[in-house]
Amino acid sequence: MADYLPHTDEDVAAMLAFLGLQDLDELFAAVPAAMRLAGGLDLADGEPEPDVLARMDAFARANRAADLLCFAGAGAYDHEVPPVVRALAGRSEFVTAYTPYQPEVAQGVLQAVFEYQTMVARLSGLPVANASLYDGASALVEAVNLGAGASGRQTVWVSSGVHPHWRGCLRTFSRGSGHQILEIPLAGGVTAWPGDTAVAPGAPGGAAGRPPGAAAGGPPGVVVVAYPNYLGCLEDLAPVRRLADAHGATMVVAADPVAAGILRSAGEWGADVVVGEGQAFGTPLSFGGPYLGLFCCTTAQVRRLPGRLVGETVDLEGRRAYVTTLRAREQDIRREKATSNVCTNQTLMAVTAAVQLGWLGTGGLAEVALRCARGTRYLRDAALAIDGVSPLTGSTPVVRELALRTRPPARTVVDRMAAEGFLAGVALADLVGDDGDGSVDADGAAHGLLVAVTERRTVEEINGYLVALDKAVRQ
Amino acid sequence: MADYLPHTDEDVAAMLAFLGLQDLDELFAAVPAAMRLAGGLDLADGEPEPDVLARMDAFARANRAADLLCFAGAGAYDHEVPPVVRALAGRSEFVTAYTPYQPEVAQGVLQAVFEYQTMVARLSGLPVANASLYDGASALVEAVNLGAGASGRQTVWVSSGVHPHWRGCLRTFSRGSGHQILEIPLAGGVTAWPGDTAVAPGAPGGAAGRPPGAAAGGPPGVVVVAYPNYLGCLEDLAPVRRLADAHGATMVVAADPVAAGILRSAGEWGADVVVGEGQAFGTPLSFGGPYLGLFCCTTAQVRRLPGRLVGETVDLEGRRAYVTTLRAREQDIRREKATSNVCTNQTLMAVTAAVQLGWLGTGGLAEVALRCARGTRYLRDAALAIDGVSPLTGSTPVVRELALRTRPPARTVVDRMAAEGFLAGVALADLVGDDGDGSVDADGAAHGLLVAVTERRTVEEINGYLVALDKAVRQ
Amino acid sequence: MNPNAQAEAHAPGGRAQSAPLMGRAGEPTIFELSEPGRRSWQLRTTGVPEWSAEELLPEAHRRVTPVPLAEVSERDLVAHFTRLSHRQFSVDLGAYPLGSCTMKYNPKICDTVASLPGLAGVHPGAPASTTQGWLALLVELEEALCEVTGMAAVTFQPAAGAAGELTGLLLVRAYHEARGEQRRRVIIPDSAHGTNPASVTLGGYEVTTVPSDARGCVDAAALRAVLDRDVAGIMLTNPNTLGLFEEGIEEIASAVHDVGGLLYYDGANLNAILGVVRPGDMGFDIVHLNLHKTFATPHGGGGPGAGPVGVSARLVDFLPGPRPVRVGQAAHAGAAADGTTAGGRYGWAAPPRSIGRVHSWHGNALVLARALTYVLVHGGDGLRRVAERAVLNANWLRARLSSTYDVPFDRPCMHEVVLAASTLKSRYGLRALDVAKRLLEEGFHAPTIYFPLVVDEALMVEPTETESLQTLEALAEAFERIAAGVAEEGGIDAARAAPRTTPVGRVDEARAARTLIPTFDARGTGGAARAG
Amino acid sequence: MNPNAQAEAHAPGGRAQSAPLMGRAGEPTIFELSEPGRRSWQLRTTGVPEWSAEELLPEAHRRVTPVPLAEVSERDLVAHFTRLSHRQFSVDLGAYPLGSCTMKYNPKICDTVASLPGLAGVHPGAPASTTQGWLALLVELEEALCEVTGMAAVTFQPAAGAAGELTGLLLVRAYHEARGEQRRRVIIPDSAHGTNPASVTLGGYEVTTVPSDARGCVDAAALRAVLDRDVAGIMLTNPNTLGLFEEGIEEIASAVHDVGGLLYYDGANLNAILGVVRPGDMGFDIVHLNLHKTFATPHGGGGPGAGPVGVSARLVDFLPGPRPVRVGQAAHAGAAADGTTAGGRYGWAAPPRSIGRVHSWHGNALVLARALTYVLVHGGDGLRRVAERAVLNANWLRARLSSTYDVPFDRPCMHEVVLAASTLKSRYGLRALDVAKRLLEEGFHAPTIYFPLVVDEALMVEPTETESLQTLEALAEAFERIAAGVAEEGGIDAARAAPRTTPVGRVDEARAARTLIPTFDARGTGGAARAG
Ligand SMILES: Cc1ncc(COP(=O)(O)O)c(C=O)c1O
Ligand SMILES: Cc1ncc(COP(=O)(O)O)c(C=O)c1O
């Protein structure tokens, strides 16, 4: 029997005596007897830590994926996380603290989050960032809620270039919020916005010819686009801003925060809200979580901002201090009037991102982005020379990720390359399903392979990948 | 170019200007030009951290020993080090502090060492422990220095049951100190002390019949014995105390601190000085270092104590505080009159030991010792049933380690068992050389295998070991 | 010159002069420590051709000036965040009796588990054949949580309790809709946590609040009065936020079920009843767990958590997907596999009538690995001990402090006790807030204050099972000292000036909201300004 | 009741009430936090038969009562040591300009390296065929250190600088003895570190001290006066402990060599000359390095360090053994292999005339792995930058502070500068000790004080290269504030009362020595008593 409980038998006896109780069961007198669990939980008895560690290690060893050289992306990237970032973000004061409800003893977390907010706001080109949401998808859901609230309209036009899982979440949550989600298809890797002449001159319904009908909810209150989109393509955001302006809609950009290191900022493109997945900043791949939802907006929208916000203030003696602010937006005060239900969020990942961005600094972030783009270009040029590999998105410029079409089904390619030691990428069918969606058709889903090259991949690794890819598509 | 230097080019320029210098070379004007390194160091240019980490990782992966199930001991043991101990002892405040010269800002290290001293003193049965020495061997060297100083005589009788490497260090340093080191041989695994009637009734020279001659320096000023000795055997310490009393010598016991959890304490046996290797308390095997020299003595000898000592005191307001004390023993004050030259020691390992002993507590230490003894007994009983394996030390009781005689040379057995995934133990020839020494003869050196079983070894692992051993001795 | 004033003086490269360890010096922001040209980053040598941005990107997309971040040396980075950590209270430093938050000890072994490369280094989009360890781990955890809650299946996607609530409400909706029913209302007690009504609203339902009765439980009559076939369900936590067990839970359950509604269990307080009674056995249909509370995964200063949702058999088909399953069970759990299951005993399966995804991937996986570790170390026997000791500790504090503070519902509590400062307030003007700030001075974290809303000047104290009797005694003495102190000459002024020994003194929260400074760039602009 | 007083009140289970973060509360010892029956430990389930101690051990050897240690829960263990860590200054918290100690930033990557299981998990007695990685690592480090020092070979056994010194002196002895010479004296300058004379004594030599001249260097005439054929060697550090380069090193070297003596280089100050000039090129025969200084391995609150010793060609055969070698070189380095070299490119070899072992095993191996990491990240170019910046920083401080403090030898310094408070002392009574304590209040660690002994009221300041110009400015301002403050009304009293913002105030060192309390058990006994 091993646990973390300090109570000796004597302690328990003394405490029961103090309470005038005979035994521990009496503590649960209020629980109707019939309901109580008779024989205890049907779980094995506790095991000592070293045995448990061995078991957990066995799970870990059973994950072959951890040993594969990672060329997968799709929103989760194998970026450098240096020992210094792990050491600092792992300090137990950050790890074992609660939400900073008592600012006098929580300046550490509060200041780190304040710095995080500043960094993320600078990245986005917008003036306000919150203290984190669960992940990119939840940030997008919140952005749509904000946008619909701001515009007063529930119709949401979402580019199919937005990550399929994020669109899935939007659909799921729209069941509660009542938003009308319209997914705008891609053509050649970029969104075919309906009615935007700059996109599809002369065609009222846009290039894809599938205009959202009037039945679908009328003019959009929110327009959502990804930059770059999930296939890695760089879309022109000017038409999106025009669309939003034309309809008085909120423009939401789901931006890749690493690519932002070399791309024009979403704020500059005119975004009202910028969301993103912050995993790339110091958080390991982690089988998908905990990750970090980035969320930025304009000052005008700050009172609709979901989640926590840290602001600077002073203490009674006038010393600089930080505190969570605009608490009225949160649920603990106005309850059903809250802008969102988020309470526990991903603060530790935000602190981690602050440390990682502190480590990268101005030059490092640009360098990481540039190196990703270089690796992607290098791999793309060579891959397209392979017989059996073609581009899935034409010649649209890509930045840190690209979609290839492989002659065999992409899932087969992934399996074959796993045997060679590579995580080849993500098969599009795993993201969009076998039938495809507005981003790719069924053939694209079956043969589309999404490949990401981060700054960690050496030319030897990429060359090895190309050899294995060549083999996998020929087989 | 990557390093940890904060200086921007502008900083350097401004600082040089402030100093009225033209360039950095001028800083070294005092260095005779002819002596200066012309082309710079003939070392490769710096590499970025991730590249270096990959190189260091390659070294690590080249150590097959790390993957072998460890049955080796010989003073370095594979004990449980739980995550909590690593987390606490690894806190950067402990790791990146210097020697606590300014007690007002070093109470953390000072109190931890004070607690360590208390724990180690309790273990040894003596009232004073210092704040660590380099390792077991250096602690022994210091103990002999103390003993010789206390007795005023330089002749040192050392049981050959003391770890061969430690005896080697004693010999090395005796060249400086001028001590006469006499190694007393073992018989049947225990020391054959000369002239002790309880050991060898009637025989003036003791059982081994090799009395240290008068030429060897006369009566001992220091007597050294190991408990258990390096072959795992439990020696009777009463005759050693009698010897020491008879000659007015200092009795030094090199005690295994884990076995101390179930053994009569060296203090109870009458030791004047107790030394030991503290690696077992929270420090990994580490290819032999950094380890931890334990050192305890009587109050009477405290002013001869080598190394650092922390004492309790108060601050100006009367609050409890800790400080390094009796500094006059150290070199920074009396210099050539210092009791030893130790300055930097192994404080972090002492802090680690305090955490580990805090984690073990009264019950845990006893349990670890008991489990080691059980595993040793279990392995011994089964191993001796194997054809080709016999005891090297007869039926002398052993506690946490035992010496077997294997039919093939022990080095061969170790090599064969490594191929099966076991670190079978330490071949005695690797400790004492091919010719043997006072502890084992040449045959014992060639065929002696020292095996340790810690509390981490399961019965399945031991059974696997026995199967492999059986195979290795038959082959 | 006071050290903090120096920190205020913005100089490039900052004033990196050391430690809050020493007194109450401020810490500059990393932006103030920054000097152009300094760097920490080091990246791999890759050998990839060094094309310029111009060669790689069309001009319209190219950033003209780099994102302005801080530029510091690694040494300053380390010192900055280490100093910040010294300005932060945490469980590892001392008792944290924050009610409703279950700030128990977070075992260090879980940090080790969460950093195993075989777990932390796995891409979430890797094929199932290469992630068998993760899938097996999740299936094992699901089975354990089913046993603990009495539910039939669990989804791991929700990233926190509130996400679990909303997921649960969407399950409620899907369930009713599948039966062709459109219900509009969800009932919650007035003592409920704020996330409950917020989730109800986001779930597209209207909130109907029921009051608490004199014993601190749901007022049964009031509940019956609002129950009808428009009610989709009720959300309860039991023990409730007053730390009291809802004794009438059986009747509540049958009343709600009678009108066709579902019962949702807010698992924030599950710590009180682990191994004693299960939500499923109380009649609940849906349960969320806060693994960061009951299962000791650390809160991380506000997150991450994990809010898995368990459901009874009739709701399994609606769960979010894909879900990790044993391959033999895939058919049972839903046919349309999302992702390959080839080459392994575990795979993914989408429930047939799934509400869809509620997370970018599979949930907060590393938090889940921590939770399984916790479950395995404790086992069935240990989890029950957890509840017993948690309840014992809370009752000891209740009994000890009931003569000093008000105990609005003075009967045996479960894992937490809600005290109140109402008498101290009316007598001396001492508010719950002042008690909280004084406790900080005493070296303890404060309890939760002003919650639940139904208690005036509430002090919600949850000691948790990992605090020792001695710590409880020390905490009780601190509470008593605070009450005694306010009765002394000048006592109330001292209390209002508290805390005076913390890294900063009492913080002006109103000013933060009035003049919003959400970023370093908004400083001196009189509030948030549009940044570059 | 003041929080510290509570800590003083010994109660079983202690008063675990939180954090020194809050004000200046004391921390009880772990023995006061202990309560019988509590535990943290958890050990593997082994299945080994559970024989009792009685069955395993003869009675005479059996312990009757268990060793009394503390008994605490893991939660209290964590809180205790975390709180202790908050009572400890460290490089990671701020500037640590402790002269002679080279408290530079310790890169975090080295912690990662030192905890690689493939390095940390290797038994030192494992056969060489299974430790090829370690052997290769050591050989690579040896080659790098040979290049840095200009030596022919290096032994890694010495665990710290002082151990290196003694090893070096035994090499000196072995060298002379091999030539049939018995020399008795070793020369050291009066500015030398205390370990030098102590090592000389332990090495069996007599110390002959030579004075420093007016420029802070070895007085050449005085040196010549004591040189004769009885001199075994001289120990020097260059730059010396005054931070000054011994300009006459060439003459010193030839003078000592002329009488057949050897030159020993105390490497504590090597940081100043990395890549600029090498001890070997200055004429030294033996060099120890303090890897914990120059090569940034952390000091650990007093250790571990590593003190490898490099020697010139004529001393290689005397080095301690066995030594890691490339297998092809084994013959060259010494024939008698100790340990097997089978199955690998690296092995062990004992030098033919080895002085023997100076360590239980192979030295502080994990410290060595850290040092190699540091060398590889910096490379040849980076090591030179280290020296340049270290010297630049020290000179900047010297120039800046020379108008406020005495600079006994006011000429360009190397990596550290020795200031003095002599004028402030004679004018206001401000001692070096007071300056040190005031600096603690200012948030900096103090410099080394009262060393070297040849300077009155010495303040030995070594900023190191990892501190930024801004930190130097802040440090200089603090020094200046201290000097200005003492000139004010009441200034000297305030200085003598310093530090007032640290975890404890000025500590009574004299009392500690007078009434020795070296263990918790000696408390209240009026000093150390014989424990059970
Ligand atoms: C009673 C109760 N319900 C729900 C929640 C929300 O859980 P989470 O913060 O994990 O989203 C909390 C958290 O504080 C709570 O205490
Ligand atoms: C000049 C000098 N020599 C020698 C030493 C001794 O080195 P170590 O402490 O590593 O034994 C020191 C350490 O402070 C030193 O500064």
The answer to whether C476 and C397 are in contact (CB under 8 A) is: yes
Q: Which range is least confidently modeled, A382-391, B247-256, C323-332?
A: C323-332
pLDDT at A196: 52
C309, C332, C334, C360: which is closest to C170 by C-alpha?
Answer: C309
Q: Which of C38, C83, C468 sits opposite D93 (nearest CB)?
A: C83
Which CATH number fits the domain that encloses residue D162? 3.40.640.10
Percent of chain B with pLDDT over 70: 95
D27 C-alpha vs ligand 2 centroid, how far in Å? 32
Residue C342 confidence class, pLDDT cut points 50, 70, 90: very low
pLDDT at C341: 41
pLDDT at B208: 39
**Are D122 and B63 in contact (CB < 8 Å)?**
yes
Q: How many domains does chain D have?
A: 2
Tell me if D332 is assigned to some domain.
yes
CA distances from C386 to A11, C287, C380 (A): 15, 20, 10
pLDDT tens-digit profile of A264-313? 999 999 999 999 999 999 999 999 999 999 999 999 999 999 999 999 99
The verdict on D155 and D178 lying in the same domain is yes
**Are C41 and A363 in contact (CB < 8 Å)?**
yes
User: Around B102, how many Cα atoms within 13 Å sit in the side-chain half-sphere?
Assistant: 33
Cβ contacts of A11 on chain D, cutoff 8 Å: 35
What is the rounded CA–CA span in Å between residue D434 and residue D447? 11
The answer to whether B321 and D507 are in contact (CB under 8 A) is: yes
Count CB neighbours of A204 within 10 A: 10
Asked if A49 is an interface residue toward chain B (Cβ–Cβ < 8 A), one would say: yes
How many Å lie between the alpha carbon of A93 and the closest alpha carbon of chain B?
A: 11
The verdict on C314 and C326 lying in the same domain is no
CA distances from B161 to B294, B468, D360 (A): 18, 29, 15
The number of angstroms, rounded, from the C-alpha of B144 to the middle of its chain's C-alpha atoms is 15
C477 C-alpha vs ligand 1 centroid, how far in Å? 29
Q: Which range is least confidently modeled, A327-341, B122-136, B454-468, D208-222?
A: A327-341
Q: Where are the alpha helices (DSSP H) in A36-97?
A: 49-61, 83-89, 92-95
Residue D80 confidence class, pLDDT cut points 50, 70, 90: very high
Residue D1 confidence class, pLDDT cut points 50, 70, 90: very low
Instruction: Tell which of A3, A4, A49 to mutate to test the B interface (max B CBs under 10 Å).
Output: A49
Residue of A nearest to D46 (CA): A51
Asked if B57 is an interface residue toward chain C (Cβ–Cβ < 8 A), one would say: no
DSSP D39-76: --------------HHHHS-GGGB-SS--------HHH
Helix, strand or coil, per DSSP, at residue A432 = helix
Residue C24 confidence class, pLDDT cut points 50, 70, 90: low
pLDDT at A327: 87
Residue A214 has pLDDT above 90, yes or no: no
pLDDT tens-digit profile of A446-472? 999 999 999 999 999 999 999 999 999
Tell me if D78 is assigned to some domain.
no
The verdict on D228 and D301 lying in the same domain is yes
The verdict on D312 and D325 lying in the same domain is no
The verdict on C225 and C341 lying in the same domain is no
The verdict on D191 and D335 lying in the same domain is no
pLDDT at C4: 37
The answer to whether B165 and B431 are in contact (CB under 8 A) is: yes
Residue D531 has pLDDT above 50, yes or no: no
Q: Is the CB of C162 under 6 A from ligand 1?
A: yes
pLDDT at C524: 80
Tell me if D141 is assigned to some domain.
no
pLDDT at B394: 93
Query: Maximum distance among all alpha carbons in chain B?
Result: 86
pLDDT at C501: 87
User: Around B427, how many Cα atoms within 13 Å sit in the side-chain half-sphere?
Assistant: 28
Tell me if D429 is assigned to some domain.
no
Higher pLDDT, B163 or C338: B163
The answer to whether A129 and A298 are in contact (CB under 8 A) is: no
> Residues of D at the A interface (Cβ-Cβ below 8 Å)?
21-22, 35-39, 41-45, 72-76, 78, 82, 107-109, 111-112
The residues that bridge with B291 in the sheet, in sequence order, are none
The rounded radius of gyration (Å) of the Cα atoms in chain D is 26
What is the rounded CA–CA span in Å between residue A416 and residue A475? 9
B119, B99, C291, A472: which is closest to D72 by C-alpha?
Answer: B119
The torsion angles phi and psi of C337, rounded to 5 degrees, stand at: -65, 130
pLDDT at D26: 84
Residue A198 has pLDDT above 70, yes or no: no
For chain B positions 99-158, those within 8 Å of chain A (CB to CB) are none
pTM: 0.96
Cβ contacts of C363 on chain A, cutoff 8 Å: 288-289
The residues that bridge with B295 in the sheet, in sequence order, are B275
User: Around A337, how many Cα atoms within 13 Å sit in the side-chain half-sphere?
Assistant: 6
pLDDT at B338: 81
Tell me if D41 is assigned to some domain.
no
B398 C-alpha vs ligand 1 centroid, how far in Å? 57
Residue A107 has pLDDT above 80, yes or no: yes
pLDDT tens-digit profile of D142-183? 999 999 999 999 999 999 999 999 999 999 999 999 999 999
* pLDDT winner (highest mean) among A192-201, A396-405, D338-347: A396-405
Mean pLDDT of D414-438: 97
The answer to whether D179 and D261 are in contact (CB under 8 A) is: no
**Are C73 and B83 in contact (CB < 8 Å)?**
no
What is the rounded CA–CA span in Å between residue C134 and residue C140? 10
Q: Which of C18, C23, C474 sits opposite D17 (nearest CB)?
A: C474
The verdict on C197 and C232 lying in the same domain is yes
Residue C357 confidence class, pLDDT cut points 50, 70, 90: very high
Characterize B260-294 residue by residue with b for buried, 16 or more Cβ atoms within 10 angstroms of its Cβ, and e for exposed: bbbbbbbbebbbbbbbbbbbbbbbbbbbbbbbbbb
Cβ contacts of B76 on chain D, cutoff 8 Å: 123-125, 361
Average pLDDT, chain D: 91
The answer to whether A427 and C123 are in contact (CB under 8 A) is: no
Q: Which amino acid is at D328?
A: G
pLDDT at D321: 94
Q: Which one-letter DSSP state was computed for residue B287?
A: G
Tell me if C418 is assigned to some domain.
no
The verdict on D286 and D326 lying in the same domain is no
pLDDT at C329: 52
Burial class (CB in 10 A: 0-12, 13-18, 19+), B34: exposed
Average pLDDT, chain A: 94
pLDDT tens-digit profile of C36-71? 999 999 999 999 999 999 999 999 999 999 999 999
Q: Which domains does chain A have, with CATH numbers?
A: 9-51 (no CATH), 66-82+362-474 (3.90.1150.10), 85-356 (3.40.640.10)
Q: Is the CB of C290 under 6 A from ligand 1?
A: yes
Residue C443 confidence class, pLDDT cut points 50, 70, 90: confident
Dihedral angle at the C-alpha atoms of A331, A335, A341, A345, nearest 10 degrees? 10
The ligand minimizing its distance to the Cα of C415 is 1
The verdict on D271 and D315 lying in the same domain is yes
Helix, strand or coil, per DSSP, at residue A20 = coil
Mean pLDDT of C503-527: 90
What is the rounded CA–CA span in Å between residue C240 and residue C252? 14
pLDDT at A339: 82
Percent of chain D with pLDDT over 70: 91
Residue D343: which domain range? 321-348
The verdict on C327 and C215 lying in the same domain is no
pLDDT tens-digit profile of B17-73? 999 999 999 999 999 999 999 999 999 999 999 999 999 999 999 999 999 999 999
The answer to whether D435 and D97 are in contact (CB under 8 A) is: no
pLDDT tens-digit profile of C96-143? 999 999 999 999 999 999 999 999 999 999 999 999 999 999 999 999
Residue D5 has pLDDT above 80, yes or no: no
Residue D380 has pLDDT above 60, yes or no: yes
The verdict on C264 and C344 lying in the same domain is no
The pairing of beta strand B293-297 with beta strand B69-70 = unpaired
D295 C-alpha vs ligand 2 centroid, how far in Å? 14
Tell me if C295 is assigned to some domain.
yes
Mean pLDDT of D190-216: 95
Residue A329 has pLDDT above 50, yes or no: yes
D96, D106, D155, D136: which is closest to D364 by C-alpha?
Answer: D155
Residue B402 has pLDDT above 90, yes or no: yes
Tell me if D461 is assigned to some domain.
no
What is the rounded CA–CA span in Å between residue D201 and residue D184? 10
pLDDT tens-digit profile of A344-380? 999 999 999 999 999 999 999 999 999 999 999 999 9
Tokens linked to D57: 């051990």
How many Å lie between the alpha carbon of C280 and the closest alpha carbon of chain A?
A: 10
The verdict on D311 and D328 lying in the same domain is no
